[in-house]
Amino acid sequence: MSRQLGVGLYGAGNIVHDGHAPAVAAGASTRLAAVCDIDEARARTLADAYGGANIYTSLDKMLADPSVDIVIMATPNNLHRRDFEACARAGKHVLCEKPLAVTYPDAIAMARIAEEHKIVLKTGFNQRYLNQIRMAKLAIEAGLIGEVFSFRTVFSAKWDNWVDGSNFRWDLERSGGATTNDNLIHRFDMLRYLLDDDYAEVVADVSHCVIPPVVDDNVHLMVRTNKGARGSFIADRYSPVLGDATELYGTKGSLSFWTNAGSPFFDVPLAINTTVPMNELPEPIRKAVYPTARSKQNRHAWDGWLSIWPPRNEWDTYAEQLAGMAEEILSGTRDGIGATGFDGARATELVHAAYSSQIARAWVSLPLADNAPFAFPDFEGHGSDAKAGRS
């Protein structure tokens, strides 16, 4: 039997409970070695649920445990940068939950420290592993929609939909933001991943409008990419809707998908409009096409639209992400999907630049300097202005 890697869970909160702990248990090449949380009872309950593991309330003690090869870091965001460095010095590989850090200088430093210490650092952008996203990537790479010059994406989630154990999201110092840095950052990563491109410029309106904690709850961004695409990102944290939609427009077709929820406007996990005939589609896409009104046999009969229903794998994405990382550690082979430390840094860079744009009320160019100054927008002032203007 090939070697199993010991995993230490750092932070025994919601996402570890729902995503990472089951992923460790499901993995053929991973086993649960330790759980560390400042709340010992929480760590113990989790370990007991998986047949036991070493329990720690201090990271240093867990890092001294030789049975731990990988640390899955799922603590409040402001702790990631500080604690990552200790992990790297101890020679542990790290799967760090998104966002990698609150500021771009911290995030890029983490990516570099990982290289220096020759450890594998992955950023927890698990949505890359969704089956509809894998197929969207395949469709774009196969040229089904041509060159993309325009996209738009939306992410709505009510602020009290997500119960977090430590309530860190509503404290800017600990979360770095409740909408931009929590939900929208998944899309910042996903669009650059799908388009194999980087952001060149951003202008943002990052505001607080409604919810009791004074954090970003209504966010609008426009970006331009290095390859010349233009796109918009919209997210809110006040609406009762859990909704999302992404549309990409190419020179030969278009593609739209949802990741978490199914609004009636976007009730197909992945829809592709292409003139490429059915028999020339990449096989995984052809197999997952749902013929609706017309026959699959007719080469051009679907008016260009393909409705694609891949098997759902929302919660399996955590296991697939971890399996990819374990394979990289054991054999040096990358799965080509998992987000690296540098990918994590690029996503954080757009959050950082969006805040800078809000403060300057102007377009901001990327890449940012490694020591770019960071500040939170004045959500108090901006929110009050927005409300006063509406009366």
Ligand X SMILES: NC(=O)c1ccc[n+]([C@@H]2O[C@H](COP(=O)([O-])OP(=O)(O)OC[C@H]3O[C@@H](n4cnc5c(N)ncnc54)[C@H](O)[C@@H]3O)[C@@H](O)[C@H]2O)c1
Instruction: Report, in Å, the least distance between residue 39 CB and ligand X.
Output: 4
Instruction: Report, in Å, the least distance between residue 248 CB and ligand X.
Output: 21
143 binds ligand X per the rule CB under 6 A: no
Figure out which of the listed residues 8, 27, 105, 124 binds ligand X, where binding follows CB under 6 A.
124
Q: Which is nearer to ligand X, 12 or 144 (CB)?
A: 12
Beta strand pairing call for 70-73 and 93-96: parallel
Q: Is the preceding peptide bond at 291 cis, omega within 30 degrees of 0?
A: no
Q: What is the per-residue binding string for ligand X in 288-327, x denoting contact by CB under 6 A?
A: ----------------------------------------
Query: Cα separation of 15 and 162, whole Å?
Result: 11
Figure out which of the listed residues 8, 11, 27, 324 binds ligand X, where binding follows CB under 6 A.
11
Q: Which is nearer to ligand X, 42 or 93 (CB)?
A: 42
Beta strand pairing call for 199-207 and 243-250: unpaired
77 binds ligand X per the rule CB under 6 A: yes
Q: Which stretch binds ligand X (CB under 6 A): 11-19, 111-119, 237-245, 301-309?
A: 11-19
Q: By CB under 6 A, how many residues form the interface with ligand X?
A: 23
Query: Cα separation of 258 and 248, whole Å?
Result: 12
Residue nearest to ligand X (CB): 13
74 binds ligand X per the rule CB under 6 A: yes
Q: Which is nearer to ligand X, 13 or 231 (CB)?
A: 13
Q: Which is nearer to ligand X, 11 or 344 (CB)?
A: 11
Nearest to 20 by CA among 65, 61, 75, 62: 75
Q: Which is nearer to ligand X, 39 or 205 (CB)?
A: 39
Q: Which is nearer to ligand X, 37 or 343 (CB)?
A: 37
Figure out which of the listed residues 25, 29, 31, 38 binds ligand X, where binding follows CB under 6 A.
38
13 binds ligand X per the rule CB under 6 A: yes
346 binds ligand X per the rule CB under 6 A: no
Q: Which is nearer to ligand X, 76 or 344 (CB)?
A: 76
78 binds ligand X per the rule CB under 6 A: no
Figure out which of the listed residues 5, 7, 15, 101 binds ligand X, where binding follows CB under 6 A.
15
349 binds ligand X per the rule CB under 6 A: no
- Three-class SS of the chain: CCCCEEEEEECCCHHHHHHHHHHHHHCCCEEEEEEECCCHHHHHHHHHHCCCCEEECCHHHHHCCCCCCEEEECCCHHHHHHHHHHHHHCCCEEEECCCCCCCHHHHHHHHHHHHHCCCCEEECCHHHHCHHHHHHHHHHHCCCCCCEEEEEEEEECCCCCCCCCCCHHHCHHHHCCCCHHHHHHHHHHHHHHHHCCCEEEEEEEEECCCCCCCCCCEEEEEEEECCCCEEEEEEECCCCCCEEEEEEEECCEEEEECCCCCCHHHCCCEEEEECCCHHHCCHHHHHHEECCCCCCCCCCCCCCEEEECCCCCCCHHHHHHHHHHHHHHHHCCCCCCCEEHHHHHHHHHHHHHHHHHHHHCCCEECCCCCCCCCCCCCHHHHHHHHHHHHC
Instruction: Report, in Å, the least distance between residue 83 CB and ligand X.
Output: 8
The CA dihedral of 321, 255, 196, 93, to the nearest 10 degrees, is: -10
Instruction: Report, in Å, the least distance between residue 254 CB and ligand X.
Output: 26
Instruction: Report, in Å, the least distance between residue 319 CB and ligand X.
Output: 13
* Tokens, residue 123: 């950023």
Q: Which is nearer to ligand X, 126 or 207 (CB)?
A: 126
Figure out which of the listed residues 30, 34, 53, 75 binds ligand X, where binding follows CB under 6 A.
75
Figure out which of the listed residues 168, 257, 258, 302 binds ligand X, where binding follows CB under 6 A.
168
Q: Which stretch binds ligand X (CB under 6 A): 32-40, 140-148, 236-244, 325-333?
A: 32-40
Q: Which residues of this chain interact with ligand X, rule CB under 6 A? A: 11-15, 37-39, 42, 74-77, 79, 97-98, 124, 126, 164-166, 168, 182
